[in-house]
Structure 1
Amino acid sequence: METNANIHVLADETLGGIKREYVEVDRKAIEGERIIIVAKRYTYDDYKNGDIFTVDRDFHSEMDFVESDAVASDGNYSGAIYHDEYRALEPTDIVHIDGQCCVLTDRKAEVGEKIIVVRPDGVVGDDYDTGRVGTVKSRYSDGDVSVETIGLVFSSEYRVLVPLDKEKTFENKNSVYKEVKNYIHNELGITRQDVQEMISVAVSNEIQKMSESGKLDSIAEEKIESLIEEGFGNGDRLLYGFKEKVSQPVSDEVGKRIANVLNISVELKEEGN
């Protein structure tokens, strides 16, 4: 399979009509895919090089053509387009929104980032469709987010919209991170366990200071107040999933209070490299 450098920006109906970049690929197309005419074979066909169509029927290995109803004519009743006449158009992860190029990124969104709904789960009460874009105003530990103008969106329903120039910055930061990590492990001889112990001590000291100053109580109160305000953010209607979202943070805060009484014991969950 050979990829052509030509890029085409087309409306993607699977993303609610958002403009998306497609790349030309020299292979047989399948039903539902878009193709571009690059070497028209017969003069009587009612299309020209550069035209883009959707494949309505493909025949895999049985035939040497696909069919598109859009090109059906008196000389081509079935709308046949031969494989050597076209290239398939494959969607990339780059979309164009409000004049900016963004990369569709499959990860948990951060507060302040924009997301796009790609797979709404159809829960009754949800007021958003595929292609809806919004800015994250708060995030839960499982990746579900509260989005301005939308409300609660589950992590399985969205992709993060990372500006293209920012995506390059992330790549550079990731490269630097790997270099630093290798230096810490290989040159300084500091193990992951050493780092975890350092962090554990530092976190314990900070929590102890916050507890003694009263800041921990204030943070807990602000967090609970924020959750309640968010839960009723859609007028007087309680947002779907509010109970589940509130129960865990409240449980966490209770655990912190208990930990304070017991002189605070901090355990870090070991994560992979």
Structure 2
Amino acid sequence: MTKTNEKIHVLVDEKLGGIKREYMEIDRKAEVGEKIVIVEKADCDDWYENGAIFTVNRDRPGKSHVESDPARCGDNINGFILREEYHVLEPTDIVHIDGQRYEMVDRNAKVGEKVIVVRPDEVIGDDYDTGRIGTVKSRHSAGDVSVETIGLVFGDEYCVLVPLDKHEKTLENKNNTYKEVKNYIHNELSITRQDIQEMISIAVSNEVQKMSESGKLDRIAGEKIESLIEEGFRNGKRLLHGFKERVSQTVSDEVGKRITNVLNINVELKEEGN
């Protein structure tokens, strides 16, 4: 069974033009060409230590070990590395460019977005290589784009670079704003969670009463129940199993939706008691 390790390594990816890329540790057997990291050195005579990174040069059929030329030393003339000594470093879609983290997303680019060439056309005459980066100036059909400093790039040749730090910072700012509002409610206004729950309960109760008095509640229930009855009697004129529960749940859901829409309330329950 393949196991995933949360540890991330930022390494130069030669296959991506030497751009730095994030790799994740995976506990499985490596294949030729893959990067590995030593996590539990077995032979004390080997020159490398835990944390050393190699590229696999040979994978013996039917054998669990791999071999890497840079790991050669002393009696280990083949660069022999036991299976239990290493984890595979699998490339993620996250790259580091000029100190900024980006996610490579495989979709059509918009004007103004950065793109990176990942699968260049091998037609003779192309003047760009894997790893070239540029900003989209204009779009064409089939996802093709014109890119500054590169020229025409076909839709299947590039990935869009979506900045991650900016997105994460936005989420961080939202969380900080939430905490500020939460602290203001508790500390300045002296409003407790129970007070808020009671406010919502009263508002919902008032809205249900309004819906009942106006006849909306009857119409909502009537329409849904009629639809469920029609559906239930399709099966040989016999009500389907769980009909009563479905009626109750459906009507409850519909009423809840309408109350939420009217009050514009979005209540998010936090699992960790925040």
TM-score of Structure 1 vs Structure 2, range by shorter chain: 0.5 to 0.7
Q: Which residue of 2 aligns with 1:35?
A: 36
Counterpart of 1:16 in structure 2: which amino acid?
A: G
User: Structure 1 residue 109: deviation in Å?
Assistant: 0.3
* Cα shift readout 1:63-99 (whole Å, capped 9, x = no counterpart): 2310001111221011100000010000000000111
CA gap of 1:110–1:168, structure 2 versus 1, over 3 A, is: farther
Counterpart of 2:132 in structure 1: which amino acid?
A: R
Q: Following the alignment from structure 1 to structure 2, what is the Cα–Cα distance between the partners of residues 112 and 84?
A: 47
Q: Following the alignment from structure 1 to structure 2, what is the Cα–Cα distance between the partners of residues 168 and 98?
A: 17
Q: Following the alignment from structure 1 to structure 2, what is the Cα–Cα distance between the partners of residues 113 and 13?
A: 24
Q: Report whether the alignment pairs 1:95 with 2:91.
A: no
- After TM superposition, the runs of 4+ consecutive aligned structure 1 residues lying more than 4 A away are 165-171
1:31-110 equivalences under 5 Å are 31-59=32-60, 62-110=62-110
Between Structure 1 and Structure 2, how many residues are aligned?
171
Q: Which residue of 1 aligns with 2:3?
A: 2
Counterpart of 2:39 in structure 1: which amino acid?
A: V
Query: Percent identical across equivalent pairs?
Result: 63
| 3-state DSSP of counterpart to 1:46 | coil
User: Structure 1 residue 142: deviation in Å?
Assistant: 1.4
Q: Following the alignment from structure 2 to structure 1, what is the Cα–Cα distance between the partners of residues 154 and 170?
A: 24
* Contact persistence 2:11–2:21 (CA under 8 A): yes
* Contact persistence 2:100–2:165 (CA under 8 A): no
Q: Following the alignment from structure 1 to structure 2, what is the Cα–Cα distance between the partners of residues 170 and 120?
A: 33
Counterpart of 1:86 in structure 2: which amino acid?
A: Y
CA gap of 1:166–1:155, structure 2 versus 1, over 3 A, is: farther
Counterpart of 2:38 in structure 1: which amino acid?
A: I
The answer for unaligned runs of 5 or more in structure 2 is: 172-219, 221-274
Q: Following the alignment from structure 1 to structure 2, what is the Cα–Cα distance between the partners of residues 59 and 166?
A: 45
| 3-state DSSP of counterpart to 2:138 | strand
Higher deviation after alignment, 64-73 or 85-94: 64-73
Counterpart of 1:51 in structure 2: which amino acid?
A: A
| 3-state DSSP of counterpart to 2:141 | coil
| 3-state DSSP of counterpart to 1:96 | strand
Counterpart of 1:128 in structure 2: which amino acid?
A: Y
* Contact persistence 1:115–1:135 (CA under 8 A): yes
* Contact persistence 1:95–1:102 (CA under 8 A): yes
User: Structure 1 residue 124: deviation in Å?
Assistant: 2.9
Q: Which residue of 2 aligns with 1:115?
A: 115
Counterpart of 1:93 in structure 2: which amino acid?
A: D
* Cα shift readout 1:93-151 (whole Å, capped 9, x = no counterpart): 00001111000100000000000011111223321111000000000131100000110
1:177-192 equivalences under 5 Å are none
| 3-state DSSP of counterpart to 1:14 | helix
Q: Following the alignment from structure 1 to structure 2, what is the Cα–Cα distance between the partners of residues 66 and 122?
A: 32
| 3-state DSSP of counterpart to 1:142 | helix
What TM-score results when the alignment is normalised by the length of structure 2? 0.59
User: Structure 1 residue 166: deviation in Å?
Assistant: 5.7
Counterpart of 1:22 in structure 2: which amino acid?
A: Y
Q: Which residue of 1 aligns with 2:246?
A: none
Counterpart of 1:101 in structure 2: which amino acid?
A: R
User: Structure 1 residue 165: deviation in Å?
Assistant: 4.4
Counterpart of 1:52 in structure 2: which amino acid?
A: I
* Contact persistence 1:103–1:167 (CA under 8 A): no
| 3-state DSSP of counterpart to 2:70 | helix
User: Structure 1 residue 59: deviation in Å?
Assistant: 2.6
Q: Following the alignment from structure 1 to structure 2, what is the Cα–Cα distance between the partners of residues 167 and 132?
A: 23
| 3-state DSSP of counterpart to 1:58 | coil
Q: Following the alignment from structure 2 to structure 1, what is the Cα–Cα distance between the partners of residues 98 and 131?
A: 13
The answer for unaligned runs of 5 or more in structure 1 is: 172-186, 188-273
Q: Following the alignment from structure 2 to structure 1, what is the Cα–Cα distance between the partners of residues 169 and 45?
A: 51
Q: Which residue of 2 aligns with 1:139?
A: 139
Q: Following the alignment from structure 1 to structure 2, what is the Cα–Cα distance between the partners of residues 147 and 64?
A: 46
